[in-house]
Amino acid sequence: MRVLLLFVLACLALPLSADDNGAVFKAGFLAGEWQPYVLQSTDYTLRGTDTIALQRFTAKADVIVTDSTAQHYLLTWRFHGFTIDTDSRLLKNAVEKASPVTVTCLVSPVGILREFIDWSSITTCLDEALKSEVPAYALRSDSAARLELERLYAFRTGLEGWFLRGIRLFHQLHGYGYDLGVAVDVPTMLALPGLTDPVPGIVRKRLDRVDDIGTAVVSTVSVPDTAYIKSILSQSKTPSEQIAPLLSTKMSGATVFDLKTGWVFFTFEALEQATDRFQTGQLLELTHSSTYNSY
């Protein structure tokens, strides 16, 4: 997380262009173009300033412009080279045996994500790994084995969403224009851990920097409707210890964008929830390989 903060601070320190009071975010992809990225998803738990749990999944991503017309782009994302930092041996073994994932999506001429055409490999990438790794644990009756299996299937559920969320993050600015320093509130539906259905809220976006070579930095803050959350939780009679983290949810992000080409240098989305004793967080990052580990 220190690398993330240094990267964002460095980008926010970019010199302002004297003539630029805004920016329009459009795609300028070329047919057959290929760009490499790294996707990371990190889950952590803090007790005070101590990190008591940390798990980080990393995937390489090749983004290929497979078709380019006046009406659309067709982009193919190929995720591969999976690794995971975890204390779970079962998880580590399963991730090492996971198959590559391919997602094809339709994008408008300015870069707005229109449709996921094919993402079926997301749901099957762990199938062979599960066949080879799960039986040895399923035959055991001890609590350690059950915990390992629970963690694996929870990871599998999250994995199916991380790839698509990363692609949505990449396209979240395309097709829009922003004035420098002016915050814009966009109504949206937010997915919160602990709730089955999305809740209404807003995403507040602000163009923070534009430099002379066409690099822009946009920050985002997502704010859920707490009155709506209280209403649905009161109807379900949720215990107060589960309500507090939901009401304390904080969601933030930032994107560093190349205005000349429409490619993203770096984008992230962070979610944190707090109780009296613990603070849990989820961090999703997509970084162009040219800037990965540069800070």
pLDDT higher than 50, residue 35: yes
Longest dimension (CA), the chain: 68
DSSP conformational letter for 109: T
What residues pair up with 256 in beta bridges, in sequence order?
Answer: 217, 266
User: Residues 39-67: what's their mean pLDDT?
Assistant: 92
Predicted model pTM: 0.87
> Which residues does 162 contact at the CB level (< 8 Å), separation at least 6?
39, 41, 57, 284
- Would strands 264-274 and 279-288 be described as parallel, antiparallel, or unpaired? antiparallel
Higher pLDDT among residues 72 and 233, named by residue: 72
Short-list 280, 270, 284, 254, CA closest to 14: 254
pLDDT higher than 80, residue 20: no
Separation between Cα atoms, residue 161 and residue 270, nearest integer Å: 15
- Using alpha carbons only, give the angle 91, 136, 96 rounded to the nearest 5 degrees: 30
DSSP conformational letter for 99: P
Give the tokens for residue 74.
């067709």
Separation between Cα atoms, residue 21 and residue 43, nearest integer Å: 37
User: Residues 6-29: what's their mean pLDDT?
Assistant: 62
Identify how many contiguous H helices and E strands the chain contains and give both numbers.
7, 13
- Per-residue pLDDT reduced to its tens digit, 157-200: 888 889 999 999 999 999 999 999 999 998 988 887 777 788 89
> Which residues does 213 contact at the CB level (< 8 Å), separation at least 6?
none
User: Residues 37-62: what's their mean pLDDT?
Assistant: 91
Least confident of 108-117, 188-197, 248-257: 188-197
Place of tokens 């412009």: 65
pLDDT higher than 70, residue 18: no
Whether the CB-CB separation of 56 and 36 falls below 8 Å is answered with no
Phi and psi (nearest 5°) for 240? -60, -30
